[in-house]
Amino acid sequence: MTTNAPDLGARHEAGLRATREAGLAALRHFERRRELAIESKGLQDFVSAADREVERLIVDTLSARFPADAFLGEEHGQAGSGRTCWVIDPIDGTSNFVRGISFWCVSVGLLVDNVPVLGFIHDPVRDELFAARRGHGATCNGRPMRASEAEPSAARVNLGFSFGEEPRRFAETMGGLLARGTEFCRLGSAAMALACVADGRLEGFWQPRIKSWDVCAGLVLAAEAGAVVDDFFAGEGPVRQNACFAAAPRVAPVLRAAIAEAAPFQRA
């Protein structure tokens, strides 16, 4: 028996609304962040009451509309199962958020049969809503986005890092980029960095080990904007940790070369 395909048009419309509403809720917390209780989940890894509240808002809103869909959130884990799964990071860039640094966002992606097909990222501080649907392009506040056409010598690549990785590999990748005349940065939100790759503000993003909720939405944006992306999920389920690669076409070979020359990855 063939299962009917999910209505992506309806989910796209609902995802847009839910992500914007969640972003506005997160912004209210950001404006009074000094009142929030902050907990540590590990070295330089924080969570606040805002993260949990915003995730619950997204799940409640979307599950009311699509009760058969599964959900995977950073703070509450996985609920349900099936071919259609929403992947949620309620506040990507929490370390920035709690410090008052305005580079953070709400990230909501949708997997169908383990393929990312919808992506929504809301930057409420700048009121920018990034959205993409597989095969339909990517937009920022309705404006079409395209990946950068910059040459490596004019490019800037965001390298992600966490303390679960080897600092040596990060440093050697950074050195490989600099040796090729390509600038690097570390901004503290993978989702926002991928949105910036999609909109041509950055020429690349790479992190050797990162969670699916950090990148699911952003990978749809980047791919639909014409960036080169790797298959993060590779046919596996949404509970996944993997390397994330996205780059503008002219910069992708340079970034791959810098990664290849760095110290090999070893799991902790």
The yes-or-no verdict on residue 39 having pLDDT over 50 is yes
Residues of the chain with CATH 3.40.190.80: 152-261
Q: Give the model confidence (pLDDT) of 128-157 as tens digits.
A: 999 999 999 999 999 999 999 999 999 999
Judge: domain 8-144, CATH 3.40.1280.10: no
Residues of the chain with CATH 3.30.540.10: 8-144
User: Phi and psi of 224, rounded to 5°?
Assistant: -70, -20
What's the confidence (pLDDT) of residue 42?
Answer: 44
Least confident of 12-16, 46-50, 226-230: 46-50
CA atoms within 13 A on the CB side of 194: 39
Cα–Cα distance measured from residue 22 to residue 42, given in angstroms and rounded to the nearest whole number: 25
Confidence of residue 164 (pLDDT cuts 50, 70, 90): confident
Cα–Cα distance measured from residue 232 to residue 205, given in angstroms and rounded to the nearest whole number: 13
Instruction: Calculate the average pLDDT of the chain.
Output: 90
Residue % of the chain over a pLDDT of 70: 91
Judge: domain 152-261, CATH 3.40.190.80: yes
Q: Give the model confidence (pLDDT) of 65-120 as tens digits.
A: 999 999 999 877 788 888 999 999 999 998 899 889 999 999 999 999 999 999 99
Residue % of the chain over a pLDDT of 90: 73
This prediction's pTM:
0.91
